[in-house]
Structure 1
Amino acid sequence: MNTQVLIRIDPIEEKPNFRLVTLSGQVDESNLHMVEEQLETLVNHDDVRVLVFNFRDLEFINSRVIGYLLSIYSSMAEADKRMAIVESNQNIMSILSLVGLTTLIGHYGNLSEALEVLE
């Protein structure tokens, strides 16, 4: 399967140690490497303390992507960093909930809600 994903990484203006990672499209084994390449630096960067993932326009993820998200979570937790999900569509949220990721990673309706909790 050859799917397309767009990844955008933005600083969060009022939070210099936070980054907003927006994924759009479909992520599977055919393009996961592109996501990994872009996120690797963020996860390991000392100045980045919180990653907020916006999944509003994410249409599809498979088990490898879920495993990768768990790997990011583990790496960040070991470094006393945090991660959150905002604006996830219902299908993606159902999958993440089914595999238990929502018990580990905070999920919020929008960025403002997440920022209030992640102070």
Structure 2
Amino acid sequence: MTEANITIEDVQSGKPDKIIKLVTISGQLDESNIDEKAKQLYEVINSVPQNLNLILNLENLEYMNSKSIGYLTDWYGKVSGGNGKVVIVKAKQNIADILNVVGLTQLIPIFQTIEEAKFAILNEQQAS
């Protein structure tokens, strides 16, 4: 089994109608671990059905397979269906390239910093 870690932290938004979670994903998401790791995020998504916003910090994510891309798409659908946003920060070039090729960057913007991502969520802005 390859190594992967997911940590989830609250981010202060200053707005009661905006719940923001910082989700840091590191290691390699592949067939050996993605189902188990995805459960962590589904628990958060299901516990906050409305106004949940996710900042996915992929700075230390080395690899993701097609199944993990499918989960990412599903997380986006569930969060956006509850009036929230999903954004990505600090994706390595290989990960950003994969997300771009499959078209996910048209739905999920990529930012360089957590501050930029938080600002975009709070102010409804897209990545530049």
Query: Structures share a fold, TM > 0.5?
Result: yes
Would you say the 8 A contact 2:50–2:82 is kept in 1? no
Aligned partner of 2:81 in structure 1 is 78
Task: Please provide the CA RMSD for this pair.
Answer: 1.4
What's the counterpart of residue 57 of structure 2?
Answer: 54
Q: How many residues align?
A: 118
Letter in 1 for 2:2: T
Unaligned runs of 5+ in 1: none
| More strand per residue | 1
From 89, 94, 99, the equivalent of 1:96 is 99
Asked if structure 2 preserves the Cα contact closer than 8 Å seen for 1:42 and 1:48, the reply is no
Unaligned runs of 5+ in 2: 123-128
Report SS of the residue matched to 2:55: strand
Map of 1:117 onto structure 2? 120
Partner of 2:24: 22
| Contact kept? 2:55, 2:118, Cα under 8 Å | no
Which residue type is aligned with residue 30 of structure 2? D
